[in-house]
Amino acid sequence: MVFDRNENKEVAVLLGAGSMGTAIVRRIAAGKKILLGDISEKALERVSHEFTYGGYDVEMQVVDACDEQSIRAFAVKAASMGPVMYYIHTAGASPSQASPEHIIKLDLIGTAYAIDAFGEVMARGGAGLIVSSQTGYMPHALTTEDETALALTPTAELAALPCLDGSKTPTSGAAYIVSKRANHLRVQAAAAGAWAERGARINSISPGIIVTPLAYDEFNHPGNTYQNMIDRSAVRRVGTSDEIAAAGAFLLGPAAGFITGIDLLIDGGVIAAMRTGKYALGRR
């Protein structure tokens, strides 16, 4: 049986086959071609099976989101499938999952390479979405000069920046905060640069505590950081992937056609609690 006889379909791309990214794709990709990327072939097969049996048109490719050439090959594959109208990036590791060095390599530099690579293949009118984190709003050791460098330094030279040499990212938590702040900065620069030149938009979203397998790794980490955030937030609960998907679909869609280069904080009020003294972040 042929489920879809349409040709020259728009392409929606997801790098990082986790629950938030797949929830976003389900909102936007009906009638489109989906390209899934992840370092885990097993995860790709599972998600591809779910999408296929849900009536979606899916292809997949194993991608190392730390490696520039792997990311660029993924972008080339996407462009070969049709006009790339949507790019969603969720690849990353949490503080309890990785060393500071790996977090910088994956969450910061790898994300920057993806922004670059897809900035070269997006179709006019297309939109990108980087899924960052509320931690990008948390206190850090970066100076104004550091932030300018993180925003504007060519990606191949990012690793050599003094602010990433370990003095300001001595722990996995500190590296995660700096990486997510850098995501916001790189999106701003891309929105005004390469993505604008292609007539495409790019934004980021910063989820708070969303129940995903990654979040469970943090729940199981020693200490009560997540529980304290929940208890002191305005809404006093966790968020869901569906709530993130609703916001992501909005930023990717035509109703957000005048929005680019921004970050949308979706955290249930955790950062508001921090900034008003209702909650103080524990260090690790």
pLDDT at position 281, please?
76
Contacting residues for 51 by C-beta, under 8 A, at least 6 apart: 22, 25, 26, 34, 36, 58
pLDDT at position 235, please?
87
- Compute the average pLDDT of residues 68-78: 98
C-alpha to C-alpha distance for 165 and 14, rounded to whole angstroms: 30
- How many other CB atoms sit within 10 Å of the CB of residue 235? 12
Enzyme catalytic residues? 176, 180
Contacting residues for 230 by C-beta, under 8 A, at least 6 apart: 209, 236, 237, 238, 268
Q: Are strands 84-89 and 263-266 parallel, antiparallel or unpaired?
A: unpaired
- 172: in domain: yes
Q: What are phi and psi of 97, to 5 degrees?
A: -100, -20
DSSP annotation of 168: S
- 146: in domain: yes
Residue 119 · residue 187 · CB < 8 Å: no
Q: Assess whether pLDDT exceeds 90 at residue 6.
A: no
Q: Are strands 201-207 and 11-15 parallel, antiparallel or unpaired?
A: unpaired
pLDDT per position as a tens digit, 114-147: 999 999 999 999 999 999 999 999 989 899 999 9
pLDDT at position 284, please?
46
- 254: in domain: yes
First-to-final CA distance of the chain: 55
Q: Which range, of 22-36, 68-82, 201-215, 243-257, averages the lowest pLDDT?
A: 201-215
**CA 94 to each of CA 21, 182, 193: distance values in angstroms, whole numbers, following the listed order:** 16, 15, 29
The CATH number that applies at residue 47 is 3.40.50.720
Structure tokens at 16: 């990082």
Q: Assess whether pLDDT exceeds 70 at residue 180.
A: yes
Let me know how long the chain is. Answer: 284
Helix axes 111-119, 172-192, angle to 10 degrees: 20
- 216: in domain: no
- 119: in domain: yes
- 249: in domain: yes
Q: Given strand 263-266, what is the order of strands in its sheet?
A: 57-62, 33-38, 11-15, 84-89, 122-131, 201-207, 263-266
**CA 25 to each of CA 34, 37, 189: distance values in angstroms, whole numbers, following the listed order:** 8, 13, 25
Tell me which residue range forms the domain holding 172. Answer: 11-210+240-268
- 80: in domain: yes
**How many folded domains does the chain comprise?**
1
pLDDT per position as a tens digit, 185-244: 999 999 999 999 999 999 999 999 888 776 666 666 666 777 888 888 888 889 999 999
Residue 24 · residue 16 · CB < 8 Å: no
For 158, what's the count of Cα atoms within 13 Å in the CB-facing half-sphere?
A: 26
pLDDT at position 35, please?
98
Q: Assess whether pLDDT exceeds 60 at residue 267.
A: yes
- 284: in domain: no
- Compute the average pLDDT of residues 33-44: 97
- Residue 139 or 74, more confident: 74
C-alpha to C-alpha distance for 171 and 257, rounded to whole angstroms: 39
Structure tokens at 91: 């690849």
Q: Which range, of 85-99, 133-147, 218-232, 267-281, averages the lowest pLDDT?
A: 218-232
**CA 277 to each of CA 58, 136, 209: distance values in angstroms, whole numbers, following the listed order:** 47, 18, 19
